[in-house]
Amino acid sequence: MSTPTKLFEPYKLGPITLPNRFVMAPLTRNRAVEGFVPGPLAAEYYGQRASAGLLITEASQISQQGQGYQDTPGIYSKEQVAGWRKVTDRVHELGGRIFIQLWHVGRISHTSLQVNNGAPVAPSAIRAKGKTFVGGTFADVSEPRALALEEIPGIIESFRLATANALAAGFDGVEVHGANGYLLDQFAKDGANKRTDAYGGSIENRAKLMLEVSKVVAAEAGADRTGIRISPVTPANDISDSNPQPLFDYIVDHLNALKLTYIHVIEGATGGPRDIAPFDYGSLRKRFKGAYIANNGYDFDLATKVLAADQADLIAFGKPFISNPDLVERLKRGAPLNEYDKNTFYGGGAKGYTDYPALGAALDAAQ
């Protein structure tokens, strides 16, 4: 390929050497089998994409309460750990590296997914204007209830236990999901958090849960194997904050103090425009000594430009990895990309999941 780029250069991420700067972003695919266990297809799916510098799994709930969509995998039962072990074994057999993303969706859930059809939980009892995927279709999220102060330590402990389970399942590390309007993001942003206790009001109070979770996860996994995903200005799942710059400058200062291995930053609106609101991502980059993973709308040219300008260390690609298991090789060769089928993103079987073709033998012979 004629264009010089850092994309194909190795990168040292804590104790792990990545062979390239490609990160496969977490992608919810709703294909867990009974018991919210990742099945054999998941091992095949992630194995097919093991040439990425780093794979980050689909978000996986830390408890039943943390689930927000049908057929998403968990990481809180022995059966789930065993299912994930088959995934990590397959990826490692193929020379790959894989982190699991841990989430609690908070108010972005439905009573049908909760224990005894209970209300989803949130920082405040404010229903999001949003949809979730249940019963094979998209439905309005349910009315949440505000978490009681005495329940919050249990949430933090669930993240710690999920981290221990992830290590038992053979993951190389974990990513805390602090983005996209899910629980930790809900607490951080004042559009969803109207609390008047120690977890509400000031930036310091609203950021507290995200930082407490990050601290216990890093203590369990090792800070050099812990990353976090944040999305300062995305409106995803009806989330907003009146002044995101000082909020996320504060959060990243404290994540840096914890010495996490990376921050994974969604720049702009998740899956949408990058310039939706003014925000200085360079401020986060300067404040954080670990790796900066840039995410949202990246293609080869933008990734090359941003890496060359030292505005990021790694680049996360999402949808291109859905339809191109060998995305790294295709971009290295300048080969055409497969188009993705949106109709098979959520739920189903192998179609649109593990059946996208890799580069053919003919192309190999032609090189």
Active site residues: 182
Q: How far apart are CA 187 and CA 177, in angstroms?
A: 13
Contact 276, 233 (CB under 8 A): yes
Contact 251, 179 (CB under 8 A): no
* First vs last C-alpha separation in the chain: 12
Helical residues (DSSP H) of the chain, grouped into ranges: 40-48, 78-93, 152-168, 183-188, 203-206, 208-221, 244-257, 281-287, 300-308, 319-323, 327-333, 361-366
CB atoms within 10 A of CB 179: 28
Nearest in space to 262 (alpha carbons), one of 56, 119, 58, 117? 56
Q: How far apart are CA 257 and CA 243, in angstroms?
A: 22
Contact 93, 134 (CB under 8 A): no
Q: How far apart are CA 251 and CA 213, in angstroms?
A: 12
Residues 6+ apart with CB under 8 A from 54: 13, 16, 18, 22, 23, 24, 97, 98, 99, 314
Residue reference for tokens 């200062």: 253
H-run or E-run covering 234: none
Q: How many residues does the chain have?
A: 367
